[in-house]
Structure 1
Amino acid sequence: MRDIVRIGREHLVASGPAALSLRAVARDLGVVSSAVYRYVRNRDELLTLLVVDAYDELGDAVDSAVEENAEPPEQFRQLGQAVRAWALHEPARYALLYGTPVPGYEAPGEQTIAPGTRVIVTLMTILEKSHSGGPRASTPPATSDEAGSAPTGRLTADFSRIRDEFRLTLTDDALARAVLAWAALFGAVSFEVFDQYGPDTFTDTGALFELHLEHLAQMAGL
């Protein structure tokens, strides 16, 4: 199975996810295609293996980078830098996770949700640690312009469910900020990986990303 995933990775880089073929994987392994079908029934199962493999490697990179005894703002910076570093080193695999969906493929939740939420769970843990750490780590007070932005209706129920699922004490406002930090973090990484800034806009994207992390940390109440 490890060899199938390894060859699948190589084909993902060379041809993209839509062009993955079990027959081509079998050819590169030096076996008949029926031998591969005993382990992986079709292209979608191969894609799922690659998706889980990529999520797990990204999660491992973040876990290794985030120091247990560091303060939450530094942990957030470590998490963000680990995501960026992995994405820039593995652009094809990052694109499989966060790029254009593969036509005709729907990832099975029972196999992909747990590995796919590892980074956000770590992020929520950091924010929970920060917001429960005392007044200096609390969410910035809302301004008069923000007074009417409190979630209502189904969104309130969603936040309540998320709190229960992840055993959080974050307020609705803090959860909203956490989700925005999550989306903005991966948005900033995606802009760089997919070259959305263009070749001549920023000469030091690493410094730009550090600045983004600082602003996101403040916005998230770190």
Structure 2
Amino acid sequence: MTAIRTARERAREELTREIKQEARRQLASEGAQRLSLRAVARELGMASSAIYRYFPSRDELLTALIVDAYTDLADAADAALADAPAAPRPRWRALCTAVRAWALANPHEYALVFGTPVPGYRAPQETVRHAARLPLALIAVAAEGTPAAELPVPAGPLGEQLARLRAEYAPALPEPVLARAAIAWTQLFGMIGFELFGHLVGSFDPADAFFAHAVEEMADLVGLPDSP
């Protein structure tokens, strides 16, 4: 019975992978808004009723694809950091470069998680911890080298937001540095989004040199040295 059950589990895992692979193909050809469980089932030769045993709704399939995208991106970043030199700035370069490389290789998955929201879809709470992995990696690198000069602590609503984020995610990082890391984080994804969605055509296209320069500027902003 154990062997039979294991075989069934393997078959279910394999079909789940096939469903998600076909869904990713449809993301590329049709876009997330037009993703359809019935269309996925049809392409796989499944009965429409059968696919609902794997994903009860389109939103659950979207959630699985979103979790996979966040996980793949964070895994790529972690792998780059594992191979990077010990100094903060080279680690920052490696992390930013890995994020861009993943986005260029997976533009439709990038658009799914960082592009226009899918109408009618609301990401469940379970996606938050997966989405947080990359920002936490960026914060960890920022914490490795902070500016020596005293920086003013933001006040007002921003100060309150930073205090909450620091308490929850980065207790060792001074709030002014956390603010700069957040600026670099949004700039990084803004640059990548501009490149992927064609907004640099006619200006910084190809974007390699512009991206490399911006990564160094962001490292200066955060205060990352070249040496450990």
Same fold (TM over 0.5): yes
1:103 match: 119
The one of 148, 156, 161 aligned to 2:159: 156
SS at match of 2:39: helix
TM-score (norm 2): 0.86
Give 1:138-177 correspondences, 5 Å limit.
Answer: 138=147, 140-142=149-151, 150-177=153-180
Calculate the aligned-residue CA RMSD, in Å. Answer: 1.6
User: Judging changes above 3 Å, is the alpha-carbon distance between structure 1 residues 102 and 153 closer, same or farther for their aligned structure 2 residues?
Assistant: same
User: Aligned equivalents of 1:4 and 1:62: distance in 2?
Assistant: 26
| Aligned-residue offset at 1:205 | 0.9
SS at match of 1:105: coil
2:119 equivalent to 1:90: no
**1:68-119 CA distances to partner (integer Å, 9 max, x unpaired)?**
652111111111101111111111111111111111111112x211111111
Give the paired residue count.
Answer: 208
User: Aligned equivalents of 1:151 and 1:176: distance in 2?
Assistant: 8
CA contact (8 A) 2:166 2:175 kept: no
Letter of the structure 2 residue corresponding to residue 213 of structure 1: V
User: Aligned equivalents of 1:139 and 1:127: distance in 2?
Assistant: 13
CA contact (8 A) 2:181 2:222 kept: yes
Letter of the structure 2 residue corresponding to residue 21 of structure 1: S
1:134 match: none
User: Aligned equivalents of 2:205 and 2:148: distance in 1?
Assistant: 33
User: Judging changes above 3 Å, is the alpha-carbon distance between structure 1 residues 193 and 31 closer, same or farther for their aligned structure 2 residues?
Assistant: same
User: Aligned equivalents of 1:28 and 1:213: distance in 2?
Assistant: 42
SS at match of 2:185: helix
2:208 equivalent to 1:195: no
2:22 equivalent to 1:7: yes
Letter of the structure 2 residue corresponding to residue 175 of structure 1: L
User: Aligned equivalents of 1:203 and 1:182: distance in 2?
Assistant: 22
Show structure 1 runs of 4+ deviating over 6 A: none
1:215 match: 217
CA contact (8 A) 2:200 2:207 kept: no
User: Aligned equivalents of 2:205 and 2:122: distance in 1?
Assistant: 38
CA contact (8 A) 2:37 2:51 kept: yes
CA contact (8 A) 1:139 1:220 kept: no
SS at match of 2:100: helix
**1:149-199 CA distances to partner (integer Å, 9 max, x unpaired)?**
x4223432322222222243222211110100100011111110111112x
**1:20-59 CA distances to partner (integer Å, 9 max, x unpaired)?**
0000111122110111101111111111111111111111
User: Aligned equivalents of 1:203 and 1:181: distance in 2?
Assistant: 21
Give 1:4-153 correspondences, 5 Å limit.
Answer: 4-67=19-82, 69-109=85-125, 111-131=126-146, 138=147, 140-142=149-151, 150-153=153-156
User: Aligned equivalents of 2:208 and 2:170: distance in 1?
Assistant: 34
SS at match of 2:75: helix
SS at match of 1:31: coil
User: Aligned equivalents of 2:189 and 2:160: distance in 1?
Assistant: 25
